[in-house]
């Protein structure tokens, strides 16, 4: 399979119910509800052993393709807590609100922009038909306090969007990295929102992780760079999907635009939730740097070294989420394949892209009570571990072990059998096709790294 070009399966399958994904994710150690033994906290999740591997791979691929392969893009890692004035300057204290209504009868609460048009028009509850209250504004920023002595604590916020650190660090990055416009700054980091209606598993959470590129340009070049990044981010997502036809770009209507955006497109994915945002491409113009200049008193304008022109750079933002990528990739990868043999259970497979799959290879001794097979398999597993995440699995029949690995998306299973003891060859079974080949153990590490660790470079340059 070509790396990072996706499979783009033409065959469309029925949408996968979210409960199936949530159940597999918990059962196999991808995702757990946070504080479950206390009843949980709505919209907050923990990631288990496989989840953390998948997240790390997703993050690593994004970082590699956005930062490490672009000479004019660098990365930062900013703090979650910032000066409280940041959120006044950014507009979040005044504008980062959801408009809510409550049902006077059943007490259910709705975001007004999520109400079906007929209920909006008639001012009625979609569930019970009861009358709805007047809309009220609800600010999504999560408050916290900095300082030790009660009364002296300063109120601030957990960042509502991770990208603000990039504007705060923009001038330091520019001067310390000797960058000239156009250039970009990337960051992956947590954001917090007091979402009124968290839900649909990882789709809308209260604590989540964002990945942002803020690309600083001359105003006359804005359209070109906006189009460039919009196209490039779309292709990036397409490259990690099985179902490329479930991806689209959608322009925001004027009444949908965030307070900082003059123009925006969403990259959307179609699942059982319908078409939903995966990443936003925002034309932020000079909103952020101008506001921070105004509120902090620090001049954040840029002087072109060649022309001496002084201006406030405009910004193209690409802002997506690690969690939403994790969630959509699970939905996209999940498949229950009917087994050809009568009476057999369907095969549940996660067709995760091999470079993103949490475990790259599972090493399986044919029998667990044969010392020679176990010694050979353990040695092979230890050898593979130097390069990749390998799992040793000796419990149950080989067929059961294949099924277990298919369910967590392991691209290759390597079986050590009696022939291995004679000629040092192993069976290598590929997850999607279930095809098997025989390789000498010395060929195995390069074969697996070529098929599971290589990213493909984007064929273009910013
Ligand atoms: N800096 C711009 C910004 O924050 P956004 O459209 O509000 O824009 C960007 O968020 C991305 O962050 C979304 O496309 C989504 O992937 C992710 N995201 C936003 N809210 C989220 C939530 N409550 N839970 C999980 N992911 C979320």
Listed in sequence order, the residues at least 6 apart from 27 whose beta carbon sits closer than 8 Å to its beta carbon are: none
pLDDT at residue 287 tops 90? yes
Assigned token pair, 420 = 């291995």
pLDDT in tens, 406-425: 999 999 999 999 999 999 99
Q: Per-residue pLDDT averaged across 221-246, rounded?
A: 96
For residues 269 and 275, give the distance between their C-alpha atoms in angstroms, rounded to a whole number: 5
CA of 202 to the centre of ligand 1 (A): 12
Query: For atom 21 of ligand 1, which residue has the closest CA?
Result: 204
For residues 4 and 435, give the distance between their C-alpha atoms in angstroms, rounded to a whole number: 21
> 14 or 265: which carries more pLDDT confidence?
265
pLDDT score of 212: 98
pLDDT score of 1: 32
pLDDT at residue 151 tops 90? no
Sole residue written with tokens 């123009």? 263
Query: For atom 7 of ligand 1, which residue has the closest CA?
Result: 161
For residues 359 and 406, give the distance between their C-alpha atoms in angstroms, rounded to a whole number: 11
pLDDT score of 310: 98
Helices vs. strands in the chain: H and E counts, helices first: 13, 23
Q: Could you tell me if 446 and 384 are in contact, meaning their C-beta atoms sit under 8 angstroms apart?
A: no
Burial class (CB in 10 A: 0-12, 13-18, 19+), 369: exposed
For residues 438 and 441, give the distance between their C-alpha atoms in angstroms, rounded to a whole number: 9
> Between β-strands 183-192 and 73-75, what pairing exists: parallel, antiparallel or unpaired?
parallel
CA of 36 to the centre of ligand 1 (A): 25
CA of 346 to the centre of ligand 1 (A): 35
Query: For atom 4 of ligand 1, which residue has the closest CA?
Result: 161
Query: For atom 17 of ligand 1, which residue has the closest CA?
Result: 321
pLDDT in tens, 241-284: 999 999 999 999 988 888 888 899 999 999 999 999 999 999 99
CA of 205 to the centre of ligand 1 (A): 9
CA of 168 to the centre of ligand 1 (A): 20
pLDDT score of 6: 52
Report which of 63, 72, 341, 295 is spatially closest to residue 182, judged by C-alpha positions.
72
CA of 5 to the centre of ligand 1 (A): 25
Q: Which residues of 94-110 are buried (b: 16+ CB within 10 A; e: fewer)?
A: eebbbebbbbeeeeeeb
pLDDT score of 95: 87
CA of 432 to the centre of ligand 1 (A): 32
Q: Could you tell me if 162 and 210 are in contact, meaning their C-beta atoms sit under 8 angstroms apart?
A: yes
> 460 or 438: which carries more pLDDT confidence?
438
> 345 or 30: which carries more pLDDT confidence?
30
Closest-lying ligand 1 atom to the alpha carbon of residue 209: 26
For residues 432 and 421, give the distance between their C-alpha atoms in angstroms, rounded to a whole number: 28
pLDDT score of 10: 45
Q: Per-residue pLDDT averaged across 332-337, rounded?
A: 94
Closest-lying ligand 1 atom to the alpha carbon of residue 321: 16
pLDDT in tens, 157-183: 999 999 999 999 999 999 999 999 999
pLDDT, averaged across the chain:
93
Q: Is this model's pTM higher than 0.85 or not?
A: yes
Closest-lying ligand 1 atom to the alpha carbon of residue 325: 16
pLDDT score of 261: 85
CA of 431 to the centre of ligand 1 (A): 33
pLDDT in tens, 365-390: 999 999 999 999 999 999 999 999 99
Q: Mutation test of ligand 1: which of 97, 202, 208 has the most ligand atoms closer than 8 Å to its C-beta? A: 208
Q: Per-residue pLDDT averaged across 120-127, rounded?
A: 94
pLDDT at residue 462 tops 90? no
Question: What confidence tier does 340 reach under pLDDT thresholds 50, 70, 90?
Answer: low
Query: For atom 6 of ligand 1, which residue has the closest CA?
Result: 280
Report which of 295, 76, 290 is spatially closest to residue 173, judged by C-alpha positions.
76
Q: Which residues line ligand 1 (CB under 6 A)?
A: 161, 163, 193, 195, 204-205, 208, 210, 212, 277-280, 317, 319-321, 323-324
pLDDT score of 114: 85
CA angle (176 as vertex; 175, 180 as ends), nearest 5: 45
Q: Per-residue pLDDT averaged across 128-135, rounded?
A: 94
């Amino acid at each position: 399979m070509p790396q990072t070009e996706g499979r783009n399966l033409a065959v469309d399958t029925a949408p996968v119910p979210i409960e199936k994904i949530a159940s597999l994710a918990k059962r196999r150690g991808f995702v757990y509800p946070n504080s479950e033994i206390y009843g949980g906290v709505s919209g907050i999740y923990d990631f288990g052993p496989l989840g953390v591997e998948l997240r790390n791979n997703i993050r690593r691929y994004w970082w590699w393709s956005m930062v490490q392969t672009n000479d004019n893009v660098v990365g930062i890692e900013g703090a979650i807590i910032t000066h409280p004035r940041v959120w006044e300057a950014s507009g979040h204290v005044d504008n980062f609100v959801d408009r809510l209504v409550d049902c006077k009868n059943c007490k259910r609460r709705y975001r007004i922009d999520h109400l079906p048009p007929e209920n909006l028009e008639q001012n009625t509850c979609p569930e019970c038909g009861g009358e709805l209250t007047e809309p009220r504004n609800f600010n999504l920023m999560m408050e916290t306090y900095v300082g030790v002595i009660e009364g002296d604590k300063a109120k601030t916020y957990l960042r509502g969007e991770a990208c603000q650190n990039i504007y705060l660090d923009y001038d330091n990055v520019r001067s310390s990295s000797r960058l000239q416009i156009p250039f970009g700054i990337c960051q992956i980091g947590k954001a917090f929102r007091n979402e009124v209606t968290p839900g649909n598993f990882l789709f809308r959470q209260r604590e989540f992780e964002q990945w942002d590129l803020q690309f600083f340009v001359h105003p006359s070049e804005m359209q070109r760079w906006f189009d460039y990044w919009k196209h490039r981010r779309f292709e990036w997502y397409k490259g990690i999907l099985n179902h490329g036809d479930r991806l689209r770009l959608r322009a925001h209507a004027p009444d949908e635009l965030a307070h900082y955006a003059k123009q925006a497109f969403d990259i959307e994915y179609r699942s059982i939730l319908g078409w939903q945002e995966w990443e936003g491409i925002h034309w932020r113009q000079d909103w952020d740097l101008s506001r921070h200049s105004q509120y902090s008193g620090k001049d954040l304008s840029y002087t072109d070294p060649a022309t001496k022109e002084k201006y406030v750079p405009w910004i193209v933002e690409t802002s997506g989420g690690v969690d939403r990528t994790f969630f959509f990739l699970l939905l996209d990868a999940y498949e229950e394949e009917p087994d050809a043999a009568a009476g057999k259970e369907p095969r549940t497979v996660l067709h995760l892209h091999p470079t993103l799959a949490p475990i790259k290879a599972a090493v399986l001794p044919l029998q667990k009570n044969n010392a020679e097979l176990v010694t050979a398999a353990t040695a092979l597993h230890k050898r593979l571990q130097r390069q990749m995440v390998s799992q040793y699995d000796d419990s149950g029949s080989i067929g059961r072990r294949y099924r277990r690995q298919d369910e967590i998306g392991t691209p290759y299973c390597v079986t050590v059998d009696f022939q291995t003891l004679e000629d040092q060859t192993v069976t290598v079974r590929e997850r999607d096709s279930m095809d098997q080949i025989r390789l000498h153990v010395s060929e195995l590490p390069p074969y697996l790294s070529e098929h599971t660790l290589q990213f493909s470079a984007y064929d273009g340059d910013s």
